[in-house]
Amino acid sequence: MKCIGFLCFLFLFSANTSLIAAENPPKNYIYMYQRGTDGADVKTDKALRDPRFSGAQIVYTWRELEPSKDRYDFSAIKEDLAYLDSIDKRLWIQIQEKSFTPRRNVPDYLLNDPVYQGGVIKQSMLSAPERDPDKPLSEDEYGWSAKMWQAPVRERYQKLIRQLGAEFDGKVVGINFSESSMDIGTENADGSTTFPVDFDPQAYVDAIQDNMRVLADSFKESIPMVYLNFVPGEWLPWNDKGYMRTLFAEASKLKMGIGGPDLMPYRKSHMSQTYGFFKDYPDELVKGMAVQDGNLRQTNPKTGKKNTVQDLLAFAEGYLGLDYIFWVEDEPYFGNEVLEQLPPPDRQGIPDRT
C-alpha cells in the first residue's frame, strides 16, 4: 500500500506510538496491607506465583520497624525480600504511619514522651471511599495519624526513612508513604472546616514536602513514591489553596514517583483532586496506583454500572498512564474478576491515552 505525504506520516506515527505503548504495559503487583506476624501469608499467597504479577507491595508499620527508640527491626522486610527473590518476584515497600482502624501505627515512645505532644491525632473514616455503605454508621472505625507537622515527630520518621534507604536502596523496586488524605476537623454549615487547635493544613503540606525530600535523597536506585489523593482544608476545584498543586510540583522537581490508594474510574470526587494531576504528570516519571478494598464495588459514572476489571485497566492505562498497579486481594472480586479477567503478560497493552 502506498502512503502519500502527511497521510503516510500519520499512519507511521500512529503505528509507532501503538508499538511503543504495547511494549510498556503497567506492571501488576499484589497489594498486601496486613502481613501476618511471621509472614506466612506472603509465602502461601498463590497469586504471587501467577506470571501476571511482578511482585508484592507489602505494608510495614512504623511501629513494627522501630519497636523502641533507635532500635530498628527490618527482619520482616529481609524475610519477604529473600522469599520474593527466590520465586523471581520483586518487593515494593509501603511505610504505614497512619491507620484507618483503631490501632496506632507509631512506636510507643511517640505516645509517651511529652516532647512529641501525643505523637498522633485522631481521625475518622466516615467519608472514606472504601467504607462499606451497607454497614451502619455506628460500626465505622476510627484511626490515627502521626503528627508529622510537629518537628520532633517528623525528625524521628525521617531517621527511619534514612535507615531504610541505607539498608534497602537498590534491593527493593520501590517505596512509598501512606496516603496524604486525613479525615480531620468538623465541617461547618457555611462549608468551612474547624480543625483541632494543634493542626494546620499548611504545616501538614510543608511536612509532606519535607518527608518527600528525605525519601528522594535516601532512595537513589529504588523508586521513591509519594501517595497523593486529598489534603485537609482544600477541595478542588472550588476551594483551591494550592496544597495539592504544590505537592505535585515538588514531586516533579524531585523526579519522584506519584501514587494513590484508590483506582476508581471517573469518580467525581477524585477527578479534580488528583486524577487530573496524574494525567498531566510527566510521562518519564513513575506513576502507580492501588486497587484497594471496595474499588471494584464502585459505580463507573461513564457506564452507570459496577466497575469491571477492564474499566480499571482502561482508565489506569489509557487516562492516567500508570506504570504500576497494586491489586488488593479483595474477595469475591479478586478471585472472581481480577484473576479471571487480567490479561496474560504477553497481552497486556496500553490503550491510547484520551
pLDDT digit string, tens, across residues 281-317? 999 999 999 999 999 999 999 999 999 999 999 999 9
Report how far residue 147's alpha carbon sits from residue 173's, in angstroms, rounded to the nearest whole number.
28
Mean pLDDT of 215-226: 98
Model confidence at 125, pLDDT cuts 50, 70, 90, reads low
Are 29 and 45 a contacting pair, CB within 8 Å? no
Q: What is the mean pLDDT of residues 272-284?
A: 93
Residue 6 predicted with pLDDT over 90: no
How much is the pLDDT for 140?
Answer: 55
pLDDT category of residue 231 using cuts at 50, 70 and 90: very high
Give CA–CA dist 183/123, Å, rounded. Answer: 5
3-state secondary structure of 236: coil
Measured CA to CA, the distance from residue 229 to residue 276 in angstroms comes to 11
Q: What is the dihedral of CA 183, 184, 189, 191, to 10 degrees?
A: -70
74 in Cβ contact with 167 (< 8 Å): yes
Reported as a pLDDT band with limits 50, 70 and 90, residue 16 is: very low
Answer for the pair 80, 94: CB distance below 8 angstroms, yes or no: no
- Report the alpha-carbon distance of residue 8 to residue 11 in Å, rounded: 5
Instruction: Find the mean pLDDT for residues 176-193.
Output: 84
pLDDT at position 2: 39
- Nine cell digits for residue 259: 501514587
Least confident of 6-15, 35-44, 207-216: 6-15
Q: Pairing mode, if any, of strands 120-124 and 142-146?
A: antiparallel
DSSP string, 238-262: TB--SHHHHHHHHHHHHT-EEE-S-
Q: Is the pLDDT confidence value at 129 over 80?
A: no
The matching CATH number, chosen from 3.20.20.80, 3.10.580.10, 3.40.50.2300, 3.40.50.720, for 21-347 is 3.20.20.80
Is the Cα torsion angle 321, 326, 330, 336 positive or negative in sign?
A: positive
- Taking the C-alpha atoms of residue 172 and residue 30, their distance in angstroms, rounded to an integer, is 15
**Cβ contacts of 272 within 8 Å, gap of 6 or more:** 236, 237
Residue 256 and residue 188: Cα distance in Å, rounded? 36
Per the listing, cell 472505625 goes with: 141
Q: Which of 48-52, 141-145, 256-260, 339-343 has the lowest mean pLDDT?
A: 141-145
Contact between 349 and 23 under an 8 Å Cβ cutoff? The reply is: no
| pLDDT band per the 50, 70, 90 thresholds, residue 254 | very high
d(CA 142, CA 90) in angstroms, rounded, equals: 33
Q: Which of 30-44, 100-114, 157-171, 339-353 has the lowest mean pLDDT?
A: 339-353
For β-strands 193-194 and 186-187, DSSP reports them as: antiparallel
Full-model pTM: 0.87
Give strand pairing partners of 68: 71
**What is the pLDDT, as a whole number, of residue 20?**
31
Rounded to whole angstroms, the Cα distance separating 339 from 65 reads 32
Instruction: Please state the rounded mean pLDDT for residues 106-133.
Output: 82
Q: Do residues 274 and 229 touch, judged by C-beta distance below 8 A? A: yes
Q: Is 304 helix (H, G, I), strand (E, B) or coil?
A: coil
- Least reliable range by pLDDT among 150-159, 185-194, 200-209, 231-240: 185-194
The answer to whether residue 128 scores a pLDDT higher than 70 is: no
Portion of the chain with pLDDT greater than 70, in percent: 86
Alpha helices in the chain (DSSP H): 5-22, 40-43, 62-65, 75-86, 108-112, 151-168, 201-218, 243-254, 268-270, 276-280, 309-313, 333, 339-341
| Distance of alpha carbon 77 from alpha carbon 2, whole angstroms | 58
